[in-house]
Amino acid sequence: MEKTPDISVLVPVFNERESLAELAGEIEAACDLGRYSFEVLFVDDGSNDGSWDEIERLHRDDPRFRGIRFQKNYGKSAAIAVGFQEVRGAYVVTIDADLQDDPAEIPGLVALLEEGYDLVSGWKKSRNDPVIKKITSRFFNFTTRVVSGIKLHDFNCGLKAYHVNVVRQLKVYGEMHRHLPVLAKWEGFTRIAEKPVNHRARKYGHTKFGLERFIRGFLDLISVFFLTRFAVRPMHFFGTLGTLSFVGGFGISLYLTIEWMTGEPIGRRPLLFLGMLLIILGVQLFSTGLLAEMIIRPRMENPGAYQIRDRLDPVRLKDTSPQISTSV
């Protein structure tokens, strides 16, 4: 029977062929130094630069390096979602494939897990990134910190460590990989730590960062805020807004009614239409809350189906069977 590794290192890959061999060597050296048994799971997110060929070569040389290949590019969250269901180690470490995250930090992150933390997030205290990326990241982290109440400096650091029971519970989709500590807290894993980590300049290729990713991440933050606070009690959200709107509209209407009774004309006053609008809006919001309570909870358990093209396991190098649809 195959022994369960101490650590599973999950590496989402998208067009990072040049860095994979070097990254694999650094991960192996770090785990050997910490005397941890390990496996590395590369999830190829539809690369077209030959990254899968390099992953196959690594697997041939050492079966501890496993691989999953998507049929097309789904995004980092999809790669992490599938990887979280496939890893086998007691501890799970995520790391980006571009060599900017330092694998030498892995033993330190795992050591904090062994102290009793559920999740340990890396903090790129000294970043080697373009100025625009630093600015947007600071704004994003500040906003997430305020909304979530989690005192982390760097929510989006790719270098994180988890207990395996934590990752099994996380539902990751969209751009939710940016909010994994928030999702973990939502699931009840509140022992979250942060550790400053070394962040290196990009050695190969070019950054995948773009303004559209920042916008998508910010919109997903709004989704996380709503789902983590009101997913099982939507009436608290819609009902509160509806009540405030209705009370405001009723107050305006009462004021205008008193004025009308004293002989003041109110038929053409904009305030009358505002009062009517607020009352109607309040009723609609309240009704939405009631309907949401009947539905009670959005179905997030199955964020989507991802077509896996190939799979590498210790027992077989390459699977030529028909494509497999895996739901996560």
Distance, in Å, from the CA atom of 311 to the CA atom of 307, rounded to the nearest integer, reads: 11
Question: Would you kindly state where each structural domain of the chain is located, as residue ranges?
Answer: 7-230+302-327, 234-295
β-strands 324-327, 305-312 pairing? antiparallel
What is the DSSP annotation of 149-186? ----S-TT-S-EEEEHHHHTT----TTGGGGHHHHHHH
**The predicted structure's pLDDT at residue 208:** 58
**Residue 86 neighbours by CB distance under 10 Å:** 18
**The predicted structure's pLDDT at residue 307:** 57
For 89, half-sphere exposure in the C-beta direction (CA atoms, 13 angstrom radius) is 26
CATH class name, domain 7-230+302-327 = alpha beta
**The predicted structure's pLDDT at residue 93:** 97
**The predicted structure's pLDDT at residue 183:** 86
The residues with which 7 forms a beta bridge, in sequence order, are 38, 91
**The predicted structure's pLDDT at residue 296:** 60
Provide the 3-class DSSP secondary structure of residue 298.
Answer: coil
**The predicted structure's pLDDT at residue 211:** 58
Q: Please report which helix (H) or strand (E) contains residue 229, including its range.
A: helix 211-230
**The predicted structure's pLDDT at residue 227:** 67
Torsion of the alpha carbons at 89, 92, 93 and 94, rounded to the nearest 10: 110
pLDDT per residue rounded down to tens, the chain (328 residues): 567 899 999 999 999 999 999 999 999 999 999 999 999 999 999 999 999 999 999 999 999 999 999 999 998 989 999 999 999 999 999 999 999 999 999 999 999 999 999 999 999 988 777 777 777 778 888 888 887 888 899 888 999 999 999 999 888 877 778 889 988 988 889 899 999 999 888 877 666 555 566 676 677 777 767 766 676 677 888 888 999 999 999 999 999 999 888 888 887 788 989 999 999 999 999 888 888 777 765 454 444 445 566 777 765 544 444 444 444 3
